[in-house]
Amino acid sequence: LCGDFKMQVPFPFSLLCLQVIKCKAAVMWEANKPFSIEEVEVAPPKEHEVRVKIVATGICRSDDHVITGALVMPFPIILGHEAAGVVESVGQGVTAVKPGDKVIPLFVPQCGECQNCLNTKGNLCSKTDLGTSGGLMADGTTRFTCKGKAIYHFLGTSTFTEYTVLHESAVAKIDSAAPLEKVCLIGCGFSTGYGAALQTAKVEPGSTCAVFGLGGVGLSVVIGCKVAGASRIIAVDINSDKFAKAKELGATDCINPKDFNKPIHEVLTEMTGGGVDYSFEVIGRTDTMTAALACCQYNYGLSVIVGVPPAAQKITFDPMLLFTGRSWKGSVFGGWKSKDAVPKLVADYMKKKFVLDPLITHTLPFTKINEGFDLLRTGK
């Protein structure tokens, strides 16, 4: 826009181009209410911040957890964290991206400086808003206003808006040829499930796996287990309508707990002659977390918690489940170091190493976001 402007000027160049943008956003004013499509003001990016035009965003169960109160966040808020877009402008000091770059927002940033970023075993950057419920940028303020009120950010991303502002550590530049309406899933759901199998559990060829929950993330776990070479992948869900898609993506068996008169962990233990090598809870319920642990092989089985645990709930379980040798792990964003991994995952998609299309059930205009959440809640 200003590329041909070569005169020296007595004030910062950024002031020429960076202005407040007015656009549409889905604002959540309070819990357990529908989204309200509003005109919001999006402030220019400050130092080390990036303003992004969102092209496509996915609906994730974690967003719905905020609406129901299972995940506590401040209101009013702009939710959304699984997306892809194009850089509109950058603040002072940003070098990693420039206007026009295709990017994926990162709800787990990668600052490259904190203890977790520097450790090869960690990926949960200390700059993440996950667990802190802050809802503000690093300087303690927000970039959104609506009707004169400040609107909180969600997980440092807030993608249910036509424009958003992120810290530069929370954006990953991706292949300019990547279809944003597909690779937006790499911003959360796909990477979370796929990485839980490959990165967190490190599923081995010939192993047996059980996946509890067949939403987008659970199906991505199935894809990861198949890519890892698992010989048996047992998909578990109380919605049998999910089974055809699960088998298409690599599940060898599909079982509905409602079809049995005994606890599901006993069914799985009998099916596998002693328990699975790896299990994954991809729902976010305490009862299925303990069932997933119990269905693992008693001496060397590994169970991974992938679903977001509900707030203010505790788990009670028999410690003998762990004493005999089982392992229990958690996985956020699939264990990937986000800025490093996301561009590589997009490249792998472009090379057809995995598919994303089967994970997309509906494509809706932004103004129908409430219909999208209705589809999510009814398992469609």
**What was the pLDDT predicted at 131?**
66
Q: What radius of gyration, in Å, describes the C-alpha atoms of the chain?
A: 21
DSSP string over 287-316:
HHHHHHHHTB-TTT-EEEE-SPPPTT----
Asked if residue 312 has pLDDT above 80, the reply is no
Quickly count: other Cβ atoms within 10 Å of residue 366's Cβ. Answer: 16
Kindly report which listed range (73-82, 120-129, 304-313, 342-351) carries the lowest average pLDDT score: 304-313
Q: Which amino acid is at 250?
A: G
Question: Which of residues 273 and 307 earns the better pLDDT score?
Answer: 273
Asked if residue 216 has pLDDT above 80, the reply is yes
d(CA 284, CA 270): 25
Average pLDDT, integer, range 53-76: 92
Joined together, the tokens standing for residue 239 give: 């919605």
List the beta bridge partners of residue 278. 209, 302
**What was the pLDDT predicted at 70?**
83
CATH of domain 21-189+336-370: 3.90.180.10
User: Distance between alpha carbon 264 and the CA centroid of its chain, in Å?
Assistant: 27
Q: Does this chain's domain 21-189+336-370 share its CATH topology with 201-330?
A: no
Asked if residue 228 has pLDDT above 80, the reply is yes
**What was the pLDDT predicted at 17?**
58
d(CA 357, CA 379): 18
Beta strands in 59-101, from DSSP E residues, in sequence order: 77-78, 82-90
Average pLDDT, integer, range 276-287: 95
Q: Which residues have a catalytic role annotated?
A: 60, 62, 65, 81, 188
Average pLDDT, integer, range 112-135: 87
Domain 201-330 fold is: Rossmann fold (3.40.50)
Question: Which of residues 284 and 340 earns the better pLDDT score?
Answer: 340
Asked if residue 103 has pLDDT above 70, the reply is yes
Contacts 24+ apart (CB under 8 A), 346-349: 346/104, 346/174, 346/175, 346/178, 346/183, 346/186, 347/175, 349/178, 349/182, 349/183, 349/186
pLDDT grade, residue 8 (50/70/90)?
very low
Cβ-based burial of 152 (10 A; exposed 0-12, middle 13-18, buried ≥19): buried
Average pLDDT, integer, range 333-355: 97
Residue with the two structure tokens 């959104």: 144
What mean pLDDT is reported for the chain?
Answer: 93
Domain regions of the chain by residue span: 21-189+336-370, 201-330
Residue with the two structure tokens 């899933």: 185
Asked if residue 199 has pLDDT above 70, the reply is yes
List the beta bridge partners of residue 58. 82
User: Residue 281 in 3-state DSSP?
Assistant: strand
**End-to-end CA separation in angstroms for the chain:** 43
Cβ-based burial of 319 (10 A; exposed 0-12, middle 13-18, buried ≥19): exposed
pLDDT grade, residue 174 (50/70/90)?
very high
Helices and strands counted in the chain (H then E): 12, 16
Average pLDDT, integer, range 240-264: 97
Q: Which amino acid is at 119?
A: N
pLDDT grade, residue 14 (50/70/90)?
very low
**What was the pLDDT predicted at 74?**
93
Asked if residue 4 has pLDDT above 70, the reply is no
Asked if residue 185 has pLDDT above 70, the reply is yes
Average pLDDT, integer, range 281-300: 95
Residue 188: which of 211, 216, 228 has the closest Cα?
Answer: 216
Cβ-based burial of 8 (10 A; exposed 0-12, middle 13-18, buried ≥19): exposed
User: Residue 56 in 3-state DSSP?
Assistant: strand
